[in-house]
Amino acid sequence: MAQIDPSREYSPLRELIFTRLREFFREPEAIFWVYIFPVFLAVGLGVAFRSQPQQVIKVGAASGEGAERLVEIFRDQAGFQLQILPAEECRKDLARGRLDVMVEAKGKEYRYVFDPTRLENAYCRDRVNRAIQRAAGAADPVPVEDEHLSEPGTRYIDFLFPGLIGMNLMGGGLYGMGYVIVDMRVRKLLKRFLATPMRRSDFFIAMLSSRLLFLIPEMLFLLAVACLGFGVPVRGSMLAVGSIALVSALSFAGLGLLVATRARKLETISGLMNLVMLPMWLLGGIFFTTGRFPEAMQPLIQALPITATNNALRAVMLEGATLASQLHELGIMLGWGLVSYLLSFRLFRWI
């Protein structure tokens, strides 16, 4: 514990906040997971899903009858890479993701082998079929024109970054409150704090205040990487983005406090954190749209705080929505936070 300066008025709340800040910055691993790891994750995913040249479709042709005809068809076709392999080897490479589609030519007929549950495979199958049909002399009955989306705000990378910000708010709130409090309980620090001249409310306010102070550089780092590194637009006001982040951080901090109310071991709190976060990682629309899940699951998914966070961030950043238009999403976050704090204060165990 830091010594008290007798020249200034003693404030338990101020001392608790400074204690939490000193404790945090004395733990290099905490700095890494809160500030450095999210940036590494954002850069890595950003590079993986950046705008790229047209995809080269890897086509596997079963060796034997008709394989030479396929070589002639794709010889002058741009965007295709044809491999002649035994049928069994083609199927294995297709299952391992080394091929996008397999073609078997028998007489005048062609047979496509692909996984229809992978959207990219179905797309590749259509591209290959169109190339074969045109080589056979078929003409498009209706003229069409392709337009590739490349404008900032319409790319996958633009969809991804608000989700990464929401994920970081969730992880920071849960671990920044829940794990830290259980660690204090394990090390008997909570018991020592109770012996000091502080109000119990000072402790909770100090934990929340320090969490919000950590939030500022987190948001600035991620937004800087998104905007400067990958051209992700922020079409709404930064005040709206900051307000959404603030409400979300408070909500997730409440959840972190709730799961830490009775846990007495670090293994216990780690398991509870995973139990809370894993469903939200999967269902909350971080890496892909929530619309991919069945309609019957949508009421549950839309009621999650991570879904509300991501929806609000994407609306403001990518569509230029106002903060007032996101009252429904903010209400969901506030509802989770309010219930979590009320239950936490009722169930919290200091020792």
Query: Are 253 and 169 within 8 A, CB to CB?
Result: no
pLDDT tens-digit profile of 287-340?
888 877 888 888 999 999 999 999 999 999 988 899 999 999 999 999 999 999
In the prediction, which pLDDT does 341 show? 92
In the prediction, which pLDDT does 329 show? 95
Residue 1 confidence class, pLDDT cut points 50, 70, 90? very low
328 CB-near residues (< 8 Å, 6+ apart)? 308
pLDDT tens-digit profile of 16-52?
777 766 766 666 655 665 566 666 766 666 665 555 5
Query: Are 164 and 42 within 8 A, CB to CB?
Result: yes
> Which of 282, 321, 316, 273 has its CA nearest to residue 300?
282
How many other C-beta atoms lie within 10 A of the C-beta of residue 331? 12
283 CB-near residues (< 8 Å, 6+ apart)? 290, 293, 297, 300, 301, 304, 307
Please give the Cα distance from 325 to 244 (Å, whole number). 12
In the prediction, which pLDDT does 309 show? 95
Q: Which residue has the higher pLDDT, 336 or 196?
A: 336
**In the predicted structure, residue 98 carries a pLDDT above the cut 90:** no
In the prediction, which pLDDT does 202 show? 83
Mean confidence (pLDDT) of the chain? 81
DSSP string for 43-80? HHHHHHTS--SPPPEEEEEESSTTHHHHHHHHHT-TTE
Residue 97 confidence class, pLDDT cut points 50, 70, 90? confident
Q: Which residue has the higher pLDDT, 105 or 146?
A: 105
Please give the Cα distance from 115 to 99 (Å, whole number). 11
* Percentage of residues in the chain having pLDDT higher than 70: 82
Q: Which residue has the higher pLDDT, 214 or 347?
A: 347
Ranges assigned E (strand) in 79-195:
80-85, 101-106, 109-113
Please give the Cα distance from 203 to 191 (Å, whole number). 12
CATH (residue range 57-135):
3.40.190.10
> Nearest 5°: phi and psi at 223?
-65, -35
In the prediction, which pLDDT does 29 show? 58
Q: What is the mean pLDDT of residues 254-280?
A: 87
Query: What residue spans define the domains of the chain?
Result: 12-49+152-347, 57-135
pLDDT tens-digit profile of 127-143?
888 888 887 776 666 55
In the prediction, which pLDDT does 99 show? 85
